[in-house]
């Protein structure tokens, strides 16, 4: 039987940070990662099988045959979906998790993001709530994440939105044609803009090279290792201590617990299906909002028959991500200059305090679209989907059509949730996740407002026409999935305390976006990292 100080389940944004902090504090750490340890070549640049557009089974996990999910749609119909299909709500599943492939936008949550209920009131039927912590509590951890994992950005511009002690460790990436056009539009409208902070090396940093400006950023691994994720920063440092063992293709099946409620370790399954048990002083869950909730639900005890931390039926509820509101504009001039990553300039002017709606979103331009994704998603509604006219439009406008959009902060619903399916099991016999519910309808009112601002920005930036589409009422819990083990002081309405510790369990932690009470008006990954630093530092201090 293996015995360690801490087991960390998941090697993505939260798990990597937790492993590094624990190992650097002298603890023996075992990291269990469900996905494979893939090289750049294995991940590849396959335009049909990636985490941007998945027309066929992923090359970078989750594996096709491993585990389906059951999705119950708005009409109550249920369907089994596989990992690359719509409705699965997946995250990249490999060593490094989503950070290996992500777009790497490095936003701090805005102060008002932590106080949505207090700022706007609670819409009927929603579970909107304030966080038990605020921006000031997290600021030091954000700073640590920016420096230790590596963020480029504009300190001066960012200080208009956040209290920031230290500048970013790197200047922003040079701006291209999209940003030039959007600055012109923002000037005309009198809007404040700022460069998008990125977990990308704009200059050589921490022993790795600068971004080569390739066209395959989001959804792919970086050829220059200039994109900073768990795999090339914190996980590497955790392993360098000699006190961390990282096991890929190791699926956590159950967190084990004694009769007094003290967590004793983890039972896990290897690729062959063999079961193993590892004993630990502390278990840290960082498997993502759906898989962390599933793991807790799959770990029932006599005291907690619905799973660890779930005696108040909170684990798996408030499942959310981001509804994306956007507009596309057809410009008079080329805005595609072939220089990645593409996303470059943002406004935070509509993240909060918009007339008549709750919350809002950051708005920015888009990553360079893959040609097949451009065909699938970026054509105006009046252009035929095939034929000579389609081919001509693709040729004349691929470089002229620009998308502006942003992650609308969801108004959470307690009915949007992940549970265990009673019948369907994965290849190891473990009950799979059953997803149901939708975002709250208020989210869509905000999305419509934000799409309008995106359109306005494009037209002011020189678009000869711009279009958008209605954001549908459904579940949004893919790559930004969050909310299923929400943080709070009251164990009846939350799952973890303000330090990420599961209520009622002194030695069980959650350090992924499951703990987010709301998911911010911006991309959430830097907040996952900051919260993991904060939780792991406190855990070590109390040990």
Partner 1 sequence: MRLYQLAILVTMPGPIRSVTPQQTATLRAVVDTIVPADEYPSGTEAGVLDYLDGQFGGDLAGSRACYGAGLDAVDAEAGETYGTRFDLLDPVQREALLRALESGDTRTPWPFDAAVFVSTVVGHVMEGFYGDPGNGGNRDAVSWRMIGFEVGE
Task: State which of residues 36, 155, 164, 399 lies at the interface with partner 1 (CB under 8 A).
Answer: 399
Q: Tell the smallest beta-carbon distance from residue 335 to partner 1 (Å).
A: 11
Task: State which of residues 36, 155, 215, 474 lies at the interface with partner 1 (CB under 8 A).
Answer: 215
Rounded to whole angstroms, how far apart are CA atoms 237 and 363?
A: 34
Dihedral sign for Cα 306, 35, 13, 418, please. negative
Rounded to whole angstroms, how far apart are CA atoms 416 and 89?
A: 13
* 3 in contact with partner 1 (CB under 8 A): no
Give whichever of 203 and 469 is closer to partner 1, judged by the CB atom.
469
Q: Tell the smallest beta-carbon distance from residue 537 to partner 1 (Å).
A: 41
Site string for partner 1, 341-370 (x = CB under 8 A): -----------------------------x
Residue count of the chain: 543
* 336 in contact with partner 1 (CB under 8 A): yes
- The interface with partner 1 within residues 262-291 (CB under 8 A) comprises none
Task: State which of residues 160, 166, 353, 392 lies at the interface with partner 1 (CB under 8 A).
Answer: 392
Q: Tell the smallest beta-carbon distance from residue 419 to partner 1 (Å).
A: 24
Part in contact with partner 1 (CB under 8 A); list of ranges 21-29, 38-46, 141-149, 221-229: 38-46
Give whichever of 53 and 361 is closer to partner 1, judged by the CB atom.
53
Burial of 274 (0-12, 13-18, 19+ CB in 10 A): exposed
Rg (C-alpha) for the chain, rounded Å, is 22
Give whichever of 58 and 294 is closer to partner 1, judged by the CB atom.
58
* 121 in contact with partner 1 (CB under 8 A): no
Task: State which of residues 5, 36, 37, 46 lies at the interface with partner 1 (CB under 8 A).
Answer: 46
- Which of the 8 DSSP states describes residue 113? G
SS (H, E, C) 332-383: CCCCCCCCCCCCCEEECCCCCCCCCCCCCCCEEECCCCCHHHHHHHCCCCCC
Estimate the crossing angle of helix 13-24 against helix 525-542, to 10 degrees: 30
Task: State which of residues 77, 190, 258, 395 lies at the interface with partner 1 (CB under 8 A).
Answer: 395
Q: How many residues bind partner 1 (CB under 8 A)?
A: 36
Rounded to whole angstroms, how far apart are CA atoms 508 and 510?
A: 7
* 375 in contact with partner 1 (CB under 8 A): yes
Contacts 24+ apart (CB under 8 A), 155-162: 157/193, 157/194, 157/195, 158/194, 158/197, 160/192, 160/194, 161/110, 161/194, 161/348, 162/108, 162/110, 162/111, 162/135
Is the CB of residue 113 less than 8 Å from the CB of residue 409?
A: yes
Q: Tell the smallest beta-carbon distance from residue 134 to partner 1 (Å).
A: 38
Give whichever of 86 and 273 is closer to partner 1, judged by the CB atom.
86
Estimate the crossing angle of helix 135-145 against helix 525-542, to 10 degrees: 100
Site string for partner 1, 63-102 (x = CB under 8 A): ---------------------xxx----------------
Task: State which of residues 2, 44, 267, 540 lies at the interface with partner 1 (CB under 8 A).
Answer: 44
> Containing H/E element for 10?
none
Q: Classify the phi-psi angles of 89: left when phi > 0, otherwise alpha if psi is within -120 to 50, otherwise beta.
A: left
Rounded to whole angstroms, how far apart are CA atoms 6 and 358?
A: 41
Rounded to whole angstroms, how far apart are CA atoms 460 and 452?
A: 12
* 472 in contact with partner 1 (CB under 8 A): no
Part in contact with partner 1 (CB under 8 A); list of ranges 2-10, 188-196, 385-393, 469-477: 385-393
Give whichever of 20 and 218 is closer to partner 1, judged by the CB atom.
218
* 324 in contact with partner 1 (CB under 8 A): no
Residues that bind partner 1 in the complex, under the rule CB under 8 A:
44-48, 53-57, 84-86, 215, 334, 336-339, 370-372, 374-377, 385-388, 391-392, 394-395, 398-399
């Amino acid at each position: 039987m293996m015995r360690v100080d801490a087991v960390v389940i998941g090697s993505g944004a939260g798990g990597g940070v937790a492993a590094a902090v624990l190992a650097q504090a002298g603890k023996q750490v075992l990291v269990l990662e469900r996905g494979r340890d893939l090289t750049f070549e294995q991940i590849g640049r396959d335009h049909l099988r990636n985490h941007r557009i998945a027309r066929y089974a992923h090359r970078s996990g989750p594996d096709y045959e491993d585990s389906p999910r059951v999705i119950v749609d708005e009409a109550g119909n249920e369907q089994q979906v596989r990992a690359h299909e719509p409705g699965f709500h997946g995250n990249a599943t490999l060593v490094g998790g989503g950070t290996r492939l992500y777009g790497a936008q490095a936003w701090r949550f805005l102060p008002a993001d932590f106080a949505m209920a207090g700022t706007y009131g609670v819409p009927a039927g929603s579970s909107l709530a304030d966080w038990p912590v605020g921006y000031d509590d997290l600021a030091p951890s954000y700073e640590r994440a920016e420096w230790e994992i590596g963020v480029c950005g504009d300190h001066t511009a960012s200080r208009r939105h956040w209290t920031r002690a230290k500048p970013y460790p790197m200047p922003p990436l040079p701006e291209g044609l999209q940003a030039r056009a959007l600055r012109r539009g923002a000037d005309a409208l009198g809007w404040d803009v700022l460069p998008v902070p990125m977990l990308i090396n704009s200059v050589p940093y921490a022993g790795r090279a600068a971004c080569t400006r390739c066209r395959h950023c989001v959804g792919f691994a970086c050829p220059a290792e200039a994109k900073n994720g768990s795999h090339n920063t914190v996980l590497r440092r955790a392993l360098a201590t000699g006190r961390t063992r990282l096991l890929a293709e190791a699926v956590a099946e159950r967190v084990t617990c004694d009769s007094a409620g003290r967590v004793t370790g983890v039972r896990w399954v290897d690729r062959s299906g063999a079961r193993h048990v590892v004993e630990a002083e502390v278990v840290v869950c960082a498997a993502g909002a759906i898989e962390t909730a599933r793991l807790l639900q799959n770990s029932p005890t006599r005291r907690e028959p619905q799973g660890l931390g779930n005696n108040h039926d909170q684990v798996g509820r408030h499942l959310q991500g981001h509804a994306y509101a956007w507009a596309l504009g057809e410009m008079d001039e080329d805005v595609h200059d072939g220089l990645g990553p593409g996303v470059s300039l943002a406004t935070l002017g509509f993240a909060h305090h918009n007339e008549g709606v709750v919350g809002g979103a950051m708005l920015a331009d888009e990553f360079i679209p893959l040609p097949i994704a451009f065909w699938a998603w970026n054509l105006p509604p009046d252009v035929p989907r095939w034929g000579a006219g389609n081919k001509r439009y693709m040729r004349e406008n691929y470089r002229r059509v620009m998308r502006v959009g942003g992650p609308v902060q969801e108004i959470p619903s307690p009915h949007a949730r992940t549970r265990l399916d009673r019948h369907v099991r994965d290849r190891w016999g473990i009950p799979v996740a059953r997803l149901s519910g939708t975002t709250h309808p208020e989210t869509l009112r905000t999305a419509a407002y934000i799409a309008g601002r995106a359109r306005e920005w494009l037209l002011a930036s020189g678009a000869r026409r711009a279009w958008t589409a209605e954001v549908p009422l459904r579940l949004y819990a893919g790559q930004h999935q969050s909310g299923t083990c929400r943080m709070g002081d009251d164990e009846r309405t939350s799952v973890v305390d303000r330090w990420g510790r599961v209520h009622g369990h002194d030695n069980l932690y959650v350090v992924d976006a499951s703990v987010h009470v709301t998911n911010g008006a911006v991309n959430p990954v830097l907040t996952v990292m900051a919260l993991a630093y904060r939780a792991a530092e406190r855990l070590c201090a109390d040990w």
